[in-house]
Chain A
Amino acid sequence: MKKLQIWNSKPSRSFGGDLAILVFLSAGALFSILPLVYAVSNAFKPLNELFLFPPVFFVRNPTMNNFYDLFVLMSSSWVPFSRYVMNTLVISIAGTAGHVVLASLAAYALAKHDFPGSKAMFGVVILSLMFAREVTNIPNYLIVSRLGWVDTYWAIILPAWAMSLGLFLMKQFIEAMIDNALLEAARIEGASEWKIFWRIVMPNVKPGWLTLVILAFQSLWSETGGQFIYSEQLKTLPYALNQIIGGGIARAGVGAAVGVIMMIVPITVFVINQSKVIDTMGASGIK
């Protein structure tokens, strides 16, 4: 009989171990997902069910009222609500794309070229991860305003391009996934470094940068614009939604709806990217 197609076909696996892993994973997954199921089900609860005793886990009479209320509140905003959505999309997409490209370019040079200062630069990037962001806000603001970018998209996008995370992550991926022999072969063929980067490095670290896309997008998607954005028409979606939730306990249901809406897009990005990570591996790895 054919074995259930749960496992990767690898040698040296015991049935007991397989079972233990499945139990362990399922327990972890339940612990992870149940609070979220509860949170999402709250978004569909009518107000009287939200404050029941004893509390009910699943919604009994699902309603779209919370979402409906949210849309009413949205339509009464200062600027058309789609504007906030667009602002956040522009910042998230431009910020993620630029970060992935710039960080990968630099990471490739640091990982595969040996030049004066390369080790020092990588060391500094790692050290920078350990400095609390809260105190660099003011110096950051001074620099952005000196450059004249306050109250523009650039104030969010450009710093995002040089986040420490991407360089660190991409360097590890390139070191582990790119074979030096492959690069040597391409150089002998006369390929330029630029061409090698786009034709060899990036395709071969696809699982890496797809992962970075998920992480960078997620962090930019929740960007409130904080100290840098003043004009209402440039404010971001998280900012606008926070204003709506700020209305107090009567908006508890709406707040749950906001949480669900904010999560949908990063989850979608995650699912699309993760399925592509698996595709690439299917093509190159499993026979």
Chain B
Amino acid sequence: MRAVTEKQGTTLLTSPREGRLARLWKEIKANKVSYLFIAPYGILFLLFTIIPVFIAIGLSFTHYNMLQPPRWVGWENYLRLFLSDDVFLIAVKNTFVFAVLTGPLSYFASFLFAWFINELRPKIRAVFTLMLYAPSISGALFMIWTVMFSGDAYGYVNGFLLYWGFIKEPVQWLTDPKYMMGVVIVVVLWMSLGTSFLAFIAGLQGINPLLYEAGAVDGIRNRWQELFYITLPQMRGYLMFGAIMSITGSFTAAAQIIPLVGFPSTDYAGHTIVAHLIDYGNVRFEMGTASAIAVILFVTMVVVQRWVQRVLNKVGA
């Protein structure tokens, strides 16, 4: 009972005359164990995530080329991105198109497949899980898609379509702006049964089977009722987790896109916000502007996440 009772004890013992700081200190001392539990992770997290993020936010208001010390420029980086950088606006548009399509689709696919798999017996479930999950750990093997969608007649898709007479000449899948984004979305969806998918599977397996039996007694007739009345409310924490993974994954996509369509892609048709950030940071060495892009992207994702959270809170509420 340590953590709980001691805390209740403190609130009772604290006299109203004591200052807020003193009270806080007492509470901290009472929860010593909890702080010890978070300390090792917390310290490393502070060092390797929080501090770097704050430095980057600071850099977004400077001109910094990594050779000379940063020079304060105020909002200049932000203004430049919105007012005089046409490519940035293209990247914003592409990112939204990409995120609106792949984010929800990968999210629902992850849940749907996990839910269906959970209906199966353990052995056959393991086989399906492995097959569906394999693409997301395929590493460099995903480059096989560049062979499939290769722009010459040796490409699989072109070879097939030519053979059956659907097209007369090879389509430049990965260089023609008309098709580029479509192909990218297919490949990214192919790899999308990853982190959330596994979390959903483990989460579904952790639901107490007694709940389903009780549900059956209470008159649940089919798997849809079971899903809405039992499974989804039990899965709320995981659903939130999956949503955040989908939002971050789809808004920060670039690592899988750049190898497919090249850098920069034709007419910037496959250029995303993070691709633009990489352009500033790793190619032009303008870390100030790159950091400003990261901040803009961060704010965007926070807004989207708040909205999605509000929608999700209604699930099973």
Contact = CB atoms under 8 A, between A and B. Distances in A.
B99 interface: no
- Mostly, the A contact residues are helix
A80 B287 CA distance: 38
A285 B202 contact: no
A124 B15 CA distance: 32
Q: Which 9 A-B pairs have the closest CB atoms?
A: A162-B44, A139-B52, A115-B31, A109-B37, A136-B52, A139-B55, A106-B41, A172-B237, A187-B1
Interface in B200-235: 201-203, 205-206, 209, 212-213, 216, 220-223, 225-226, 234-235
Contact of B27 (A51, A116, A275): A116
A93 interface: no
Nearest to A210: B202
Interface string B45-59: 101111111011001
Given A55-B159, A161-B44, A8 B244 contact: no
Nearest to B113: A28
B38 A106 contact: yes
Interface residues of A, number: 111
Most A CB within 10 A of own CB, among B137, B155, B156, B198: B137
A17 interface: yes
A208 B34 CA distance: 21
Interface stretch (A31-39, A67-75, A81-89): A31-39
Contacts of A40: 141
A114 B7 contact: yes
A214 B130 CA distance: 12
Interface string B223-266: 10110000000110110110011011001100000000000000
Given A12-B216, A285-B209, A102 B134 contact: no
Nearest to A278: B122
A140 interface: yes
B128 A29 contact: yes
Contact of A134 (B35, B142, B278): B278
Contacts of B135: 32, 35-36
A28 B234 CA distance: 26
Contacts of A192: 2
A215 B195 contact: yes
Interface in A7-25: 7-8, 10-14, 17-18, 21, 24-25
Contact of A55 (B154, B195, B203): B154
B125 A102 contact: no
A54 B163 contact: yes
A118 interface: yes
Contacts of B145: 35
A113 interface: yes
A74 B141 CA distance: 20
A287 to B, nearest CB: 8
Given A25-B113, A127-B302, A208-B202, A115 B7 contact: yes
B133 A53 contact: no
B199 interface: yes
Most A CB within 10 A of own CB, among B24, B153, B202: B202
B3 A193 contact: yes
